């Protein structure tokens, strides 16, 4: 993806989130230079990989297959493993009309996917085989706003604004907006985008960026390069 497109998408996404009453925290609006000068006091933000995240999954077709995300808060894997402390995470996402977030699951993360506003969110579901692999002949059980719902393999949930689904490790899912763009809330256990996204097809998690202009704001995938930070 070109950096100029990423800059535009950040501005557009920020406008959409604000239209539903969501304002990002102050560090979201720091310039790269401001982030560099404040990186010591922002160590927790950097370590937790909070911030802007725009991906085309390395395929170069953002409008067809892509996702906007902003990680608002993210806990510690060490806390999750010991069963106490900051074991939670929160994100906002935007899925555009017919923009696929491809089929995937997680090994550790349990998550609520919430339609916070806009159009209908379609969530396609499959179950796992006994080894946890994608199974096109397996269904399963999820909870929609706390109500038990069994699903057939390939069944598509249609979530209107205000509705949600709880997904557990092994629940394979893909999603997209139908009839327009959707603002999505995600509340989950600790999020690890480096190792805990298991895709059905071999694709990347982050975009390959062409630096045609300077970044207005850094993506989480920029931190190691632009802030001279080792990957945590």
On the question of pLDDT at 231 being above 70, the answer is: no
Structure tokens at 183: 């603002």
pLDDT in tens, 197-223: 899 998 888 899 999 999 999 999 999
Q: What is the pLDDT of residue 60?
A: 93
pLDDT in tens, 64-74: 999 999 999 99
On the question of pLDDT at 230 being above 80, the answer is: no
Percent of the chain exceeding pLDDT 70 equals 98
pTM score of the predicted model: 0.95
Structure tokens at 96: 């555009």
pLDDT in tens, 135-151: 999 999 999 999 999 99
222 to 45, 53, 55, 63, 85: CA distances (angstroms): 13, 9, 12, 22, 28
Across the range 160-170, mean pLDDT stands at 98
d(CA 109, CA 169): 6
Average pLDDT value for the chain: 95
End-to-end CA distance of the chain: 24
Structure tokens at 118: 């806009």
Q: What is the pLDDT of residue 143?
A: 98
pLDDT band at 229 (very low <50, low <70, confident <90, very high): low
d(CA 229, CA 35): 12
Percent of the chain exceeding pLDDT 90 equals 91
**7 vs 230 pLDDT, higher one:** 7
Q: What is the pLDDT of residue 220?
A: 96
Place of tokens 């560099």: 36
Across the range 86-101, mean pLDDT stands at 98
On the question of pLDDT at 232 being above 80, the answer is: no
Alpha helices in 56-138 (DSSP H): 77-82
Q: Is 145 left (phi over 0), alpha (psi -120 to 50) or beta?
A: left
In the chain, where the domains are located:
3-226
pLDDT band at 228 (very low <50, low <70, confident <90, very high): confident
pLDDT in tens, 20-70: 999 999 999 999 999 999 999 999 999 999 999 999 999 999 999 999 999
Reduce the DSSP state of residue 110 to 3 states and report it. Answer: coil
Residue 68's φ and ψ, nearest 5 degrees, are: -100, 135
187 contacts 112 by C-beta, under 8 angstroms: yes
Taking alpha carbons only, the member of 69, 192, 70, 169 closest to residue 110 is 169
Domain 3-226, CATH class in plain words:
mainly beta
d(CA 64, CA 97): 9
Residue 85's φ and ψ, nearest 5 degrees, are: 105, -150
Reduce the DSSP state of residue 84 to 3 states and report it. Answer: coil
């Amino acid at each position: 993806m070109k950096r100029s497109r990423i800059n535009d998408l950040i501005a557009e996404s920020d406008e959409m989130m604000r239209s539903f009453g969501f304002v990002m925290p102050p560090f979201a609006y720091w310039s790269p230079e401001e982030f560099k000068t404040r990186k010591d006091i922002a160590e927790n933000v950097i370590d937790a990989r909070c911030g802007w995240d725009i991906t085309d999954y390395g395929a170069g077709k953002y409008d067809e297959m892509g996702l906007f995300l902003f990680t608002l808060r993210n806990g510690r894997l060490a806390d999750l493993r010991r069963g106490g402390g900051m074991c939670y995470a929160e994100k906002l996402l935007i899925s555009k009309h017919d923009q696929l977030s491809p089929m995937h699951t997680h090994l550790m993360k349990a998550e609520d996917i919430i339609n916070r506003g806009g159009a209908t969110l379609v969530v396609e579901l499959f179950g796992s085989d006994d080894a946890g692999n994608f199974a096109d002949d397996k269904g399963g059980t999820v909870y929609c706003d706390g109500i038990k719902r069994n699903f057939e393999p390939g069944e598509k949930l249609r979530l209107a604004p205000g509705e949600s689904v709880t997904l557990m490790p092994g629940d394979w899912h893909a999603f997209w907006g139908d009839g327009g763009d959707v603002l999505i809330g995600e509340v989950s256990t600790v999020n690890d985008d480096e190792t805990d996204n298991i895709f059905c097809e071999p694709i990347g998690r982050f975009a390959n960026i062409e630096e045609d202009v300077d970044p207005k704001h850094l993506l989480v995938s920029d931190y190691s390069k632009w802030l001279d930070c080792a990957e945590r």
